[in-house]
Amino acid sequence: MKTIIEPFRIKAVEPITLTTEEDRRGFLKKAHHNLFLLPSSQVLIDLLTDSGTGAMSSAQWAAIMTGDESYAGSPSFYRFEAAVKNLMPFKHVLPTHQGRAAEAMLMALYGGEGKMVPNNTHFDTTRANVEASGAIAQDFVIAAGLDPANEHPFKGNMDIDALKTFMAANHERVPLVMLTITNNAGGGQPVSLENIRAVAAVARAYAKPFYIDGCRFAENAWFIKLREPGQADRSIPDIVRDCFAETDGMTMSAKKDGLGNIGGWLALNDDAKAEQARAHLIRTEGFPTYGGLAGRDLDALAVGLEEVVDENYLAYRVRSNAYIVERLDALGVPVVKPAGGHAVFVDARAWLNHIDPMHYPGQALAVALYEAGGIRSCEIGTVMFGRQKDGTEQRAPMDLVRLAMPRRTYTQSHADYIVEVFEEITRRKASLKGLRIRKEPAMLRHFTCEFEPMTA
Ligand SMILES: *Cc1c(COP(=O)(O)O)cnc(C)c1O
């Protein structure tokens, strides 16, 4: 059969409140045209993020009931630890409430004034934690990774030559080498096993620890199986184990490929660093056998880690994004290709080329998707990155709109509906107008700023 069906039945439903376009115009006004300011009850299809928004399985909900809330030595921790070690056999596993807490701990171990941390692309919380420690975050993704139309199979790969040149010049300032799989800030594009091994070899040549930010390790392994020569017949757990075999540790947001609504961890082999990390964990998150989580969360993650490497799940997951990308491409909507693992990216600057980048074509498209269809997406462009440290404003390198797909949450008819909303926008595109920012905070303005639509 060529139809890839959702490999699950629905056991509990969460109703969506249906609204009209007229309702949504009113909601937009109240939210100052900032989709972050909308109550989620006013959203039909919420594609703001894939983080923590997925549906848990009946087995995960059952595991919640077996959660043991003992302060120390809970069996929930041992089940969680075994599930992590089954895929990533690190010596020490420290649970945290989210990925960023693991990153803060990692930087407490390795960061500091004047240091430099290379990565394919630092995710924004990773960058913030590196910089908060006083270190400099450097990105070395391959050139194809920055070109929306380039169909390279592993657009998340690190540029190995650039990394080698950088290490030759700066290795004394480098405390560790990092790699993010998939490359979230670069569109959820995968990294090949060959590239992971090449990065490991560079780190080893300089005797530097190598850590993977593994938030989407299962989606990355699925792309390796599909696209990397010699990997097609291997199991996903085997590919995952290979990805981590040459690393010294990892950070993880379990809100992604942990299939949980909350959680994360830091895992590592170095005994002395682990000792230091445990002290940090106790001070900031909690006792090492629960970290920042309840016992029931740890049990849900233990089950989620078994489910996320299921090939039927991964085929459905990745196929549903590719389907939307293909349909949008056929409509003439400029999309980032090939489709990434967790989101669909639209090049709003190219599509709404009658709107000046300083009037936020990405925000204009995000607002139009909400107005026409109740879809909440996220601008990743001049609204998010345009404000400079000196207070001036510059266009971002790109004005993208991200439609992030929650895991196991929406169905094929939702995908078809999303495409239909784009069809409608294709019809009204020439009449879409840019926006002006009326009020903004000093930092991270995209979350709370207020917009005003332009009239001309
Ligand atoms: C989400 C994410 C993080 C941060 O994790 P949180 O759980 O949101 O704190 C770090 N790195 C990447 C690649 C992510 O996608």
* Residue 61 banded pLDDT, cuts 50, 70, 90: very high
Mean pLDDT of the chain: 96
Going from the Cα of 253 to the center of ligand 1, the distance in angstroms, rounded, reads: 5
What is the CB neighbour count within 10 angstroms for residue 7?
Answer: 14
d(CA 168, CA 86): 36
Percent composition of the chain: helix, strand, coil (DSSP 3-state, to 5): 45, 15, 40
Residue range 352-371, pLDDT digits in tens: 999 999 999 999 999 999 99
Average the pLDDT over 327-346 and give the result: 96
Going from the Cα of 48 to the center of ligand 1, the distance in angstroms, rounded, reads: 14
> Which pLDDT value is given to residue 319?
95
The residues, any chain, with a CB within 8 Å of residue 448's CB and separated by 6 or more, are 34, 36, 37, 440, 441
- The answer to whether the CB of 129 is under 6 A from ligand 1 is no
Nearest CA owner, ligand 1 atom 6 = 99
pLDDT of residue 242 exceeding 90: yes
Q: Are 443 and 384 in contact (CB under 8 A)?
A: no
- The answer to whether the CB of 51 is under 6 A from ligand 1 is yes
Beta bridge partners of 345: 402
Going from the Cα of 233 to the center of ligand 1, the distance in angstroms, rounded, reads: 30
pLDDT of residue 456 exceeding 90: no
Which of 3-7, 29-33, 242-246 is predicted with the least confidence, judged by mean pLDDT? 3-7
Residue range 307-320, pLDDT digits in tens: 999 999 999 999 99
How far lies 335's CA from each of 68, 141, 157, 274, 377, in Å? Answer: 46, 20, 20, 43, 14
d(CA 70, CA 440): 45
pLDDT of residue 119 exceeding 90: yes
* Residue 193 banded pLDDT, cuts 50, 70, 90: very high
Which atom from ligand 1 is nearest to the alpha carbon of 255? 7
> Which pLDDT value is given to residue 397?
86
Which atom from ligand 1 is nearest to the alpha carbon of 180? 13
Which atom from ligand 1 is nearest to the alpha carbon of 263? 7
Could you tell me whether strands 45-46 and 375-376 are parallel, antiparallel, or unpaired per DSSP bridges? parallel
> Which pLDDT value is given to residue 425?
98
Which atom from ligand 1 is nearest to the alpha carbon of 101? 9
d(CA 425, CA 364): 11
The model carries a pTM of: 0.96
Going from the Cα of 312 to the center of ligand 1, the distance in angstroms, rounded, reads: 25
Report residue 137: phi and psi, to 5°.
-95, 125
